[in-house]
Structure 1
Amino acid sequence: MGSGILGLAFAVANTGIVGFCLLLLLVSGVAAFSIHLLLNLCDQTGINSYEDLGEKALRKPGKILVGLTILIQNIGAMASYLFILKSELPATIHSFLSPDSAGNAWYEDGRTLLILMTVCVVLPLSLLPKIGFLSYTSSLSFIFMLYLVVVVITKKWAIPCPLPQNITFGNNLFQVRPAISSCGTFLPTCLHAGPPISNSSVSECIPKAFVITSKSAYAIPTMVFSFLCHTAVLPIYCELDRPTKKRMQRVANTGLSLSCLIYLVSALFGYLTFYSHVNSQLLSSYDTYIPQDPMVMIVRLTVQCTVLFTVPLIHFPARKALTTLLFEGRSFSWVIHILTTVSILSVVLLMAIFIPDIRTVFGIIGSTMSTFLLFVFPGIFYLRISNQPLRSPESIGAVILLVFGLVVATLNLCLIIVSWVKSS
């Protein structure tokens, strides 16, 4: 779980409670089924590598295609996460300081903090030889997500509905304006930007079962991003004690179920707090109505720690893909291990520092490639490798998975093109 959880309340506002629950169950179920297909193929062939499954299904071009897809997708994801840290961490630190602080200290410079976090946290964790060592940071991140859920539930009763049109911040009264995510927690400055939000009416405080708007189409891509874990499934499978398909399927089902539960609770209570006024980034909604709230400030910090701990977890499959493409067949070497780790992190760090908006650059690549890794590749591989007849339930499911993935990839591509046209 990462920053994708912050966009799900916005998805509820644009699909409705029932619509969101159905879509969430659909995407999580499809994700579990695609993992089931991958594990079935591993059990049938004895192959425990996503790249090798690509070679088995589509020969050498398949292996290269899968390796490049994993590498580009994960590099883009890591760069996006580091970009979030560069943008938001200084504002988070500033929110804990005195309002009279000058704001010129080194710990309020995004690039300096990003380099420091990468060298001191991300690099040591990424150099670990086995992905199983990251279970400790993953457990800590899971606790942070639980705290996020507790805060979202608690704040449901701290913000009235209808929403107030004016708020008091310190000794000053401000008119509520739309929160601007790039402003971070420098709220008093942001409150004076953009047109005012009209005061909510009582009718807006009634939850809606189904909603269809122009933004409803963004719900599925957000959920797909939130459930993408397939590149790490097979490396974890290899490191299990007594690895069997049944045990790994239980691991995957448990992880997806816990994620689905946390996503559902946080998204529903976030929506039931702000209703149609919820922002695409949930925490910025709280900044608007309860600025400088200690619990929300701590949540912002813990979410960024979760993002930080997610980077090494994403780095592991990227390094494995690069090693497979360049050094196939060689035994483990610390020299190659360190060189590939440092090379990937250097590229990611430079991208996060110097590209103005990394999310725009990698939006079209990441959203389409994540869909291929989650849906399209498992469906194609199963149809090509499995000895099951085409009319068997799992083969029919693989066909449905393939078609669903292509539809979602096309939808993602169209949404990004439309957003680019609008922004230009």
Structure 2
Amino acid sequence: MSKNGGLQSEDFDSSLHDSINIELNATTLRDHLSNVSSRPPRPDSPFFKPSRVKKATLIKSISTPNGTHVETREERILRSQSGATDEFEKKSSVIGTIANLINCIVGAGIVGIPYALNKTGLLTGLILIFSVALLTDKSLRLLIETGKHASVQSYETLMEAAFGRPGFVFISINMFLMSYGAMVAYLLVLKDTIPTAVFGIPDTDHQGKSFVLLVSSLAIILPLAMQRDMADLAKTSTLSVVFDLIMVVIVSLCSPVKESLESIGGVQALTSWDYNFRPSTLFVGLGVLSFAFVCQDSSFIIAGSLKRPTKERWGTVTRSSLLTCALLATLIGLTGFLGFPDDTQGNILNNFINSDTKNKIAYGFLPVEKATTIARTLVGMTMFTVYPLASYVARHVLVVLLFQGRQAHEGDDHTVLARRDRRVILTLGLYLAAIAPAIMFNDTGIVLAITGAVAGSCLSYIGPGAVYLGIHGQYFLENIACWDVSSSEQALLMNYPTKIRRPGMLSSYLGSDDSVGLIATMFTMFLWYSSLMPLWCFIAKLGKDNFEKQQMEQLEKSPVPNRRLGKIINHSKQGGISQKSDKQDQIYPTSQPFVATMPLRKAHSLDNKPVTLEDQPLLANTSTLIPPSGHNKATYGTNSDSTYASTDDEFVEDDPQDGTPSVADYLLAISYILLGIIALCAGLVSITQP
């Protein structure tokens, strides 16, 4: 290698085992970047097709065996101005991710929690709040852990791994319906709160309210929705959580609990059966609570925005977020229902707009009318921050469905939306599609209710349960095949896994699996069909076949350059296919994890010199780093702790679902599917009720 005062390069056709050594200083960088900026602009690719690889210059190196080179502020500014490389995807801390998840969950649904308790009964509603929160927490962790196990990065590709293209399209459509319905709902809430609470526009002046909605959404909502990365909303989400907390406190203080209890006969009346359990409207309240906690459609997006989303860190995010939401729901639900027991409206704030409460002073110092006006204003302000989160999900669905290329298909929004024209057109199109019905109509309740009943049930319960059963279908079918079922009984059992059947213990003692009587046959058939085994075996068989096919296809592809959820090491095998995240992991089969793929701009140098790459289109964005000769391939590039980090954003950890699933795991997955079906049917039935 010779030096000429400029950037140094090396023949990349030689073995990647050779070291890449290039020196770069600030003066050389400025000279080089000025040359880059003087080149003719790269022609843009068609809108829906992948962008052509742009020539990039790496100027940032991280830790090396013999030292560290940190990119200076001047170097970063010059690189940004030259357009030599795209900016990294921004990541959130644990606190910022918790704020984003709480913001996704709370939204506008928190004002309807007292109405849900009115339909379920007080004690039943409080139990259901924490039950739904617990189920949501488990489903969020189940989705991400199953995604890590299957080595996929989005909800859609996880469903595709289990159920092929139909599963991909099915969950994508439900994600879009849920997020689009939320966008319209948030704009409607904004239309009903800010114009009246802030500007004093009467509720009957629909034209004035629509004008305020249009201007405020263009000035605040649209710029926030134009951001590329969800991590950019961490601060606004934190502010929104504070607004929600203040609003809940106001409702709790202003609610006329004392007067209400006196009118119904005191606290003793609350012990009656009617106030604690209302079976006739139970499912209506359950539906409201279930849909109020729906956030699974954004689970992969939020988890991917977290710095190093390990199993433990993601568990901290979900537990903290759901516990906070459950406590807020309990506080506003309890005080709201006790303040207006049988008169509780769908929006608890509307209960305060009447002659009985507007002139009252709560606790001798808090004017109820002014306090509730502040609460309505805070609810409207939170809509400015929750709308962009729903817009991100809807935009993500459009990316995976409409754009071509592997990165778009696997949900890499960061790469696809790096082009500003794509980001602007998609975001603006979604905004126009949502603002139109919000301006034209005042109540789209039936449309939003149907959307929530269908999409919410599929995303929250049916999807997580079915995908777990499908991804782990091999073990499920093997366990079913161990049952002692005679060949004559097998002919009567639909979808019984006969091809992988292994003899059971009873059969080995009896010497023949046909030595069963008529009563035993009838009992076996009753258990088989009453437990819906034909359905579960069908889902498991379909998932098993598709997952094996997907794993074989992944082995034929080049490694994924960026894994937003990190990389996993699976020490076991399923279906004869290694579950390691990349093909290179099989090149050096060791018991220790080995980082095979990482972004070149953050890659560790092979010596103490900064890494710089120039004019290498195939390796401009990523590089496959294989340890050079003389290094221990099993431990090269790893840390001393249990999580092996390759970069700030990528890391390697043990497969969270390594090993054989237990019976309890399968029962939980089946329970999710059944709960989703019940919630779906109950939601649709409740909509048709007067």
**Counterpart for residue 202 of structure 1:** 265
- Aligned-pair distance for 1:326? 0.3
Distance 1:321 1:342, change over 3 A: same
- Which of 318, 334, 340 is residue 426 of structure 2 equivalent to? 340
CA contact (8 A) 1:41 1:386 kept: no
Confirm or deny that 1:123 pairs with 2:228.
Answer: no
Per-residue CA deviations over 1:199-240 (Å, capped at 9, x if unaligned) read: x44358832462315433211111112111112221121121
CA contact (8 A) 1:13 1:211 kept: no
Confirm or deny that 1:321 pairs with 2:372.
Answer: no
Per-residue CA deviations over 1:237-276 (Å, capped at 9, x if unaligned) read: 1121122122112111111110001101111111222233
Structure 1 runs not aligned, ≥5 long: 164-199
Distance 1:161 1:76, change over 3 A: closer
**Counterpart for residue 287 of structure 1:** 353
Distance 1:158 1:65, change over 3 A: closer
CA contact (8 A) 1:6 1:280 kept: yes
Cα RMSD of the aligned pairs, angstroms, is 2.4
CA contact (8 A) 2:116 2:125 kept: yes
**Counterpart for residue 298 of structure 2:** 232
Per-residue CA deviations over 1:4-60 (Å, capped at 9, x if unaligned) read: 111111222332332112111221111111112101212212212011112111111
Structure 2 runs not aligned, ≥5 long: 1-105, 360-368, 409-414, 477-661
CA contact (8 A) 2:187 2:213 kept: yes
Deviates more, 1:332-341 or 1:153-162: 153-162
Distance 1:158 1:379, change over 3 A: closer
Confirm or deny that 1:61 pairs with 2:179.
Answer: no
Amino acid at match of 1:161: S
Between Structure 1 and Structure 2, the one with more helix by share is: 1
**Counterpart for residue 33 of structure 1:** 138
CA contact (8 A) 1:204 1:275 kept: no
- Aligned-pair distance for 1:308? 2.6
Confirm or deny that 1:352 pairs with 2:438.
Answer: yes
- Aligned-pair distance for 1:157? 5.9
CA contact (8 A) 2:193 2:379 kept: no
Per-residue CA deviations over 1:69-88 (Å, capped at 9, x if unaligned) read: 11122111111221222234
CA contact (8 A) 2:193 2:377 kept: no
Relative to the length of structure 1, the TM-score reads: 0.83
Counterpart-to-counterpart distance in 2, 1:238 and 1:383: 24
Amino acid at match of 1:298: I
CA contact (8 A) 1:389 1:395 kept: no
Relative to the length of structure 2, the TM-score reads: 0.52
**Counterpart for residue 678 of structure 2:** 407
Distance 1:272 1:343, change over 3 A: same
Counterpart-to-counterpart distance in 1, 2:258 and 2:350: 14
CA contact (8 A) 1:2 1:307 kept: yes
Counterpart-to-counterpart distance in 2, 1:150 and 1:35: 28
Confirm or deny that 1:379 pairs with 2:465.
Answer: yes
Counterpart-to-counterpart distance in 1, 2:191 and 2:251: 25
Per-residue CA deviations over 1:83-136 (Å, capped at 9, x if unaligned) read: 2222343222355x8xxx9x97x9x81111111122111111111111111111
Per-residue CA deviations over 1:141-188 (Å, capped at 9, x if unaligned) read: 11111112221232246862367xxxxxxxxxxxxxxxxxxxxxxxxx
- Which of 664, 667, 670 is residue 396 of structure 1 equivalent to? 667
Alignment of 1:140-219 (within 5 A): 140-156=239-255, 160-161=259-260, 200-202=263-265, 206-208=269-271, 210-212=276-278, 214-219=280-285
Per-residue CA deviations over 1:332-358 (Å, capped at 9, x if unaligned) read: 222211111111111111121224532
Confirm or deny that 1:304 pairs with 2:390.
Answer: no
Counterpart-to-counterpart distance in 1, 2:450 and 2:396: 23
Counterpart-to-counterpart distance in 1, 2:114 and 2:197: 22
Distance 1:212 1:324, change over 3 A: same
Counterpart-to-counterpart distance in 2, 1:347 and 1:334: 20
Amino acid at match of 2:455: M
Counterpart-to-counterpart distance in 2, 1:359 and 1:153: 26
Identical-pair percentage: 25
- Which of 240, 250, 259 is residue 325 of structure 2 equivalent to? 259
CA contact (8 A) 1:205 1:275 kept: no
CA contact (8 A) 1:161 1:205 kept: no
